[in-house]
Amino acid sequence: MNPTVNRQISIIGVPLDLGADRRGVDIGPSAIRYAGLRERLQRIGYEIDDKGDILAHRPDSWQVEEPALKYLDEIERVNSELCRIVGEELGKDRFPLVLGGDHSIAIGTISGVLQHKKKPGVIWFDAHGDINTMETSPTGNIHGMPAAVSLGIGHERLLAIGGSAVRLRPENFVMIGIRDLDPGEKLLLKELGIAVYTMHEIDILGMAKVMQEAMSIVTKGTDGVHISFDMDVVDPLHAPGVGTPVVGGLTYRESHLAMELLSAANIVTSAEFVEVNTVLDHQNATAKMAVALMGSLLGERLK
């Protein structure tokens, strides 16, 4: 293990599925723990504090009051709590490792990061852009909006989480593995000038080169790097247990290579792995894949 990497990890489970508006990712944190996360990280040499789960209250019926911004109340509450805990753990100089849950939890994780870091960089691994607003979203599902919120664009109640006026800077934000963008997302990404490495760029440049460029973007003038990893960035062949699978994703080795290069660069200060859907999974394969990726990100070596 790289000796300068923070040896203390705080695991935070967020079994929230309201942002995806379908069941299954609520069991994600359990599935990831069951796949041997703690033992795996201890073997690398980390001291682990598992903070347990931030529980979400399920509505009595899945009847939606605000169809353009589904389950806003509860998603706001859970993310505020997550923000507080991530901020607290970073304040203790620990590494927050957040387990989803749907990707709306990135709103809480990143606003928590922003309690401590003024200029963090973020690498967003995803098949999707998750940069919709309630105006551009085709679904009203908040898990399609967290990147926009983190950059300061979206509903005022989501923007108010963490009470921080500090936002991510688009010039330190990178997306990798993208292959399914809604029309409004394409416009906004262009407008903000965000570096987007779609599968096309990965095919042409290769993952090593993509990571080299991405890492230079997220370290330029920043005081930390957060990894937001949506398991649907990986090809459904290796990660079938996700709610919104898209063919043509990262191979097993491309995903691991990205994590290994991040580990070698020793720049990552927090991470989240989201969208493991156990109902759709095959024998917990996607949770196992998530744990293996966390191992590579946090210092496991092939030799």
Residues 6+ apart with CB under 8 A from 200: none
Residue ranges binding ligand ARG (CB under 6 A) = 103, 128, 130, 132, 137-139, 141, 143-144, 182, 230, 232, 244, 275
- How is the beta sheet containing 173-178 ordered, strand by strand? 47-53, 8-14, 95-100, 268-274, 225-230, 121-125, 173-178, 195-198
Please answer whether residues 271 and 296 qualify as being in contact, where contact means their C-beta atoms are separated by less than 8 angstroms: no
Of 17, 232, 254, 272, which is the active-site residue? 232
230 annotated ligand binder? yes
Residue 133 interacts with, from Mn ion, ligand ARG, none (CB under 5-8 Å by kind): none
Angle in degrees, 0-180, between the axes of helices 252-265 and 285-297, rounded to the nearest 10? 30
CA distance 29 to 140: 24
Q: Which stretch binds Mn ion (CB under 5 A): 80-88, 102-110, 150-158, 210-218?
A: 102-110
Helix and strand numbers (H, E) in the chain are 11, 8
Choice between 12 and 16, CB closer to ligand ARG: 16
Question: d(Cα 108, Cα 96) in Å, to the nearest integer?
Answer: 12
Q: For this structure, is 65 an active site residue? A: no
Q: Which is nearer to ligand ARG, 230 or 272 (CB)?
A: 230
Q: Phi and psi (nearest 5°) for 180?
A: -150, 95
143 is catalytic: yes
Of 232 and 272, the one with the shorter C-beta distance to ligand ARG is 232
**Cα dist from 137 to 6, 131, 190, whole Å:** 38, 9, 17
182 binds, among Mn ion, ligand ARG, none (CB under 5 to 8 A by kind): ligand ARG
Considering the complex, what minimum distance in angstroms separates the CB of residue 258 from Mn ion? 16
Whether 126 is catalytic is yes
Please pick, among 17, 81, 272, 275, the residue that the annotation labels catalytic: 275
Tell the smallest beta-carbon distance from residue 158 to ligand ARG (Å). 14
Query: Is residue 127 part of the contact set for Mn ion (CB under 5 A)?
Result: yes
Residue 22 touches Mn ion, criterion: CB under 5 A = no
Closest to ligand ARG by CB, 183 or 221: 183
* Residue 232 is labelled as binding a ligand: yes
The answer to whether 130 is a known ligand-binding residue is yes
Closest CA to 103 of 273, 296, 288: 273
**Residues with catalytic roles:** 103, 126, 128, 130, 143, 230, 232, 275
Binding residues are: 103, 126, 128, 130, 230, 232
